[in-house]
Amino acid sequence: MSKKFIFVIIVWVVWHLSIGAMPVERNAFARLFDNARLYSETCPAEKVFLQFDNTSYYQGDSIWIKAYVVDVSKDSLSQISRPLYIELLDQLGNVVDRRIVKLSNGEGTCCIPLSNAFFTGYFEVRAFTKWMLGFNNSCFSKVILVYNKRKNLQEPRTIASYGLDNSMNKRPIEKVPSLLMRFFPEGGQLVKGIPSMVAFETESKDSGLVDIKGMLCDENGKAMTPITSLHNGIGSFMYCPGDKLSYVQVEYKGKEYQFFQPMAVDSGYVMHVDNRDSVLELSVCRRSTIQNEPIALFVFSKSVPLLYHELYFKDNNSISLHINTKGLSAGVCHVLLVNSTGKVICDRPCFIYSSKRVNSLISTDKSIYKPYEKITCKLKFTDEDNKPIRNARLSMSVRNDILSDYKEYDNDVATEFALTSELRGYVESPHYYLIDKNVNRRRQLDNLLLVRAVGKYDYSSIYSSNNLPKYKPEDRLELTGQVKSLFGKLQKNLNTSFVLRKDSNYYAGMITTDSTGSFKVPIDNLEGVAETFIQTKKDGKQNNRWANVLLSRNFAPTLRSFDFQETHPVWDNILINKKSIMAVDSVYNKSLADNAIILDDVVVLGKKKLNVNNFTKIFNRNLIGYYDVRRFIDNERDEGREIMDVPDLLEKLNDNIHVNISYYSDADTSAYNSNHSDAITYRNMPITFYVNGQKVGFLFIKNDVDKIKSLCLYKDNTGNNDDVYNISGNNMTRKQQTDYWSGIELNNEHDINSINDVVICSITTDEDWDAERKNGRTRGIRHTFVQGYSAPVEFHSPQYEPEKINASDKRRTLYWNPNLCTDNNGEVTVDLYNSSNTSSVLIDAVLYDKNEFYNVGYDSYSRYLFHEDK
C-alpha cells in the first residue's frame, strides 16, 4: 500500500472523527443555512412594480403602464417568468379587465382602456406572475381613483354611490372600533424582567391612522412613561414587563381609552438592535432558559440568507455583537434568532441604506405653457462620480400640472423594491421615510418596520428543503387543463382538439390527454382574445364524448381589504402659482378674442336636453348588481360546475332571485304572454327582461347563456316608466321601450306587464345572437374565450401647428413613453405639445441602470426636484 494512499486514509479518518466529536447542534445550523440557501437558489422570488402615466383617471380614459419584474435573489430584472398578469378590479373586487403582458428581460408595457369601467370609485390594479403566487400570495397592488365623466373643467370631480345588494359585496372589509391600538414588541415577544422596546400603531374608525399622546401605567394605574406617536400613528417606548399587565391610557376626541400590553412570558429571549451607519449593534438577553441551549443569529435579505452566527452565552444572560452592513443588500433585512430545529424565536427587521446615488438634471424650456404650445424637456443623468449614465433605459410620463392629482412622497419604483414590498398592508407616502438619514427619520422608519415587516416571510418553509411553491415558473404562455367525465372521473388518453378563432383567422390543433387527464397547449404567439372551441372524443369513437373541460386559468391573489388612507386620499398642492397661470391664460384668451370674427346675432331654437347626470344618479341608486357573465360562466365551468340556462345563471349570481320552475318548464314559447309575472322574481318583485335594449320574454333567452356577455339588475320604482336604460361601456342613456319582435314602442296602454315592472334585467349579448336560433351547448364541445398577450399600443401625442389649431384636447397625460434610452452623454430630450389648458407640467421618470432603479420627478413651474435611490 502506497504512503500517499495511507496518508489520505488517515486524513479522512481524523476529519470524520473531528466532525463526530462536534456537538450535533453546531451542524444543525449549518444544515439550516444550506437549506435556506438552496431554497433561495432553486425558488428565487419575483417582485413587480408598475409605473402609471397618471395618478387618477376618468371614465373613458386609458391607463398606460410600464412593468418591471425583478429577481430578488439576483437583485436584477427577472428572466424567470414571461407572462405577467395585470388585473383591474373595481371597488367591490370584481375583475373589470385582465391583461397578459409579454415580458422581455423583465420589462413590459400595457394599456387598459376604461371604456368598460361601469363603476367609478376606488379601483385596484394588481400585477403578478404565476410564480409569485406560490410565495405568500404576493403581488403588486395599487389603488387608483376613477372619477365620473365631466362635461367641462368647471364641473366638480365626483364618484358615484351605488345601491348594490349583497351579491356584489365581495371585497373583505376590516372592521375597526372607534380607536384601536396595536402593540409590537421588538423581536416579537416580551419576557418578564427584561426591558424591551415596544412599537405601536393607533387606528381610528373614521380617520385611519391617527397620532396620539398617552401615558403608560402600571397595573395599579400609576403613571410610568409618557408616550407619543412619531409619525402617522406609529411610535415606540421602552417597557420592562412584570407579573401583572400594564396598560396605555390615551384620550381621543374627548373620550379616554385603555389598551393593555401583550402578556409577557416567564422565560425566553429578547433581541434589541441599534441600526448605525455601517453596523448593526445587537444585544440578546435571556431569562430562565435551558442552560447552553443552541441558538444562532441568521441574517436574511428579501428571503435570501446572507450569514449566520452561533451564540454562546456560557454563564452570561446577555450577548452583544456587531454586524457590518457594507456587504448587505440595500433594503429591508431580517435578523432572526433561531433554535436548532429552525424555529424563529425573534424576528428583527432592519433597513440598509443604499450607498449608490444618481444625479439628475431635468429642465424645461418654460415654466408655464399656453394651450397647444410646444414643450421641450431635457433630462441628464450622472453617477456618483459625475460620469454620464449611458444607454440606461428610461420610462417617462409628462402630465398637466393643474388637472392632475399629486401626492408628495408617494410610492415609486425605489421605495417599492426596497421598502413597501417587504411590508404588510398599505404605507402612506413611503418615500417620506427615506428623505434623509437623521436620527428622527431613522427612528420613524425603524418603528414602521417593527409594525409592518415582522411576519412577512414564512421562514419555516425556507428552512425546509422539501417545501416547494404551489406553482411552477412560466417561461411561455400555455393553455393548460384537465378533462373529466360528468361524474368527475379523469379522462386519460382522450383526443382533445382545439379551434381558436381570432378575427377572421383560425388556428387548430389536437392533443391527447395524459394519464391524469391533463393537457398543455402552447399559445405564446396569441395576441388578444380568441373564441375557442374544445372538442373531446375517444379514439375510435364516432361521437364526441360528454365531458367537462376544466381550464387552469383562475389563479389570482386573494382579495384584500382597503386601508382607510387608500379610499380617503389627500392630494398635495405642489407649489404651483395658480395666479401666474391664470394671468398667462387671461393674456392668451384675450389674444384669441382680438383675432376673432364677430358674427351677426342669431337665435337658435332647440329642445332642452335631458339632464344626463340626474338620471344616471337615479340609476346608480337603484342598481342591484352588474355582472360579467362571460367571465363568471368560464370560471364556473373551469371548476367543473355547469350553468344550464338563464334561470340557473340568475340564481347563482344572486341569492335573492327565485325561479318558479312550474311556470316555465312546460310553457308555450311561441306566445309572448306565456310568461308569468312571478315566474322569476327578485325579493318577490317580478323581473322583466331586456336584451340589447329591447324587451323580450325570458323564455327566448332561456338557453342562450353562452351568448350573454354581461347583465345588470336595477329597480324601476316609477311603475309606468316608458323608458329603459341602455348601457354601453361606461355610457348611460335612456330610450323608449321597444318590443324585440315588432320594434313597436311600448307604453302602458298596450303592454300589460309595464305597470308591474319593478326589477329590470338588462342583458347584453354577442352581436350575432338570434332568439330564433338554437344557441345551447353542443355535445362534447366546450365553448370559451382564451386570452393571449395584450397587443402593444402606441400612445398618441399630437403635434400642433399654431396657425392651424382647431381641436378640443382634454388630455391630462401629455406624453408617455415607456421605452426611452439615454445617449452617450447620459441625456434624453423630448418634444411634446400641451393640451387645451394653460398649465405647468409634471415629469415622472423611472431610470434603470446596472441592476439599479431610480425615480425622478420634476415640476416645470416651481423647479421642484427630488430623486430617490433604490
DSSP 420: G
| Mean pLDDT on 338-350 | 92
Q: What are the strands, taking DSSP E only, across 312-370?
A: 318-324, 331-339, 344-352, 359-364
| Mean pLDDT on 625-635 | 92
Check residue 208 and give its pLDDT.
94
Assess whether pLDDT exceeds 80 at residue 729: no
pTM, two decimal places: 0.89
Assess whether pLDDT exceeds 90 at residue 833: yes
Per mean pLDDT, which range of 425-429, 600-604, 801-805 is the poorest? 600-604
More confident residue, 218 or 743: 218
Grid-cell match 466532525, residue found: 19
Check residue 151 and give its pLDDT.
75
Query: Residue 285 and residue 269: Cα distance in Å, rounded?
Result: 6
| Residue 702 burial (C-beta neighbours within 10 Å; 0-12, 13-18, 19+) | buried
Check residue 117 and give its pLDDT.
61
Assess whether pLDDT exceeds 90 at residue 861: no
Check residue 867 and give its pLDDT.
39
For 855: left if phi > 0, alpha if psi spans -120 to 50, otherwise beta; the answer is: beta
Work out the percent of the chain whose per-residue pLDDT is above 70. 83
Work out the percent of the chain whose per-residue pLDDT is above 90. 48
For 429: left if phi > 0, alpha if psi spans -120 to 50, otherwise beta; the answer is: left
User: Is 179 in contact with 204 (CB distance < 8 Å)?
Assistant: yes
Q: What are the strands, taking DSSP E only, across 53-195?
A: 56-58, 62-71, 76-77, 83-89, 95-102, 107-113, 121-128, 140-147, 179-185
pLDDT averaged over every residue in the chain: 83
Give the model confidence (pLDDT) of 222-259 as tens digits: 999 999 999 999 999 999 999 888 999 999 999 999 99
| Mean pLDDT on 139-159 | 86
Assess whether pLDDT exceeds 80 at residue 584: no
Grid-cell match 365553448, residue found: 783
Give the model confidence (pLDDT) of 773-799 as tens digits: 776 677 788 899 999 999 988 998 898
The β-bridge partners of 223 are 217
CA distances from residue 618 to 573, 613, 714, 724, 732 in whole angstroms, order as listed: 34, 9, 10, 13, 11
SS3 string, 53-83, reads CCCEEECCCEEEEEEEEEECCCCEECCCCCE
Backbone angles phi, psi at 307, to 5 degrees: -165, 165
Query: Residue 700 and residue 670: Cα distance in Å, rounded?
Result: 9
Check residue 860 and give its pLDDT.
79
Assess whether pLDDT exceeds 70 at residue 433: yes
Q: What is the CA angle 242-244-248, rounded to 5?
A: 90
Check residue 419 and give its pLDDT.
95
Per mean pLDDT, which range of 253-257, 569-573, 580-584 is the poorest? 580-584
- pLDDT bin (cut points 50, 70, 90) of residue 731 is low
Assess whether pLDDT exceeds 70 at residue 315: yes
Check residue 465 and give its pLDDT.
62
Grid-cell match 380614459, residue found: 61
| Mean pLDDT on 585-600 | 49
CA distances from residue 816 to 109, 373, 525 in whole angstroms, order as listed: 11, 17, 26
Query: Residue 129 and residue 139: Cα distance in Å, rounded?
Result: 8
- pLDDT bin (cut points 50, 70, 90) of residue 443 is very high
Check residue 747 and give its pLDDT.
60
Assess whether pLDDT exceeds 50 at residue 21: no
Check residue 574 and give its pLDDT.
54
| Mean pLDDT on 438-465 | 88
In terms of Cα–Cα distance, which of 392, 355, 391, 362 is closest to 376?
A: 362
Check residue 601 and give its pLDDT.
39
Give the model confidence (pLDDT) of 162-209 as tens digits: 888 888 888 998 888 999 999 999 999 999 999 999 999 999 999 999
Assess whether pLDDT exceeds 50 at residue 647: yes
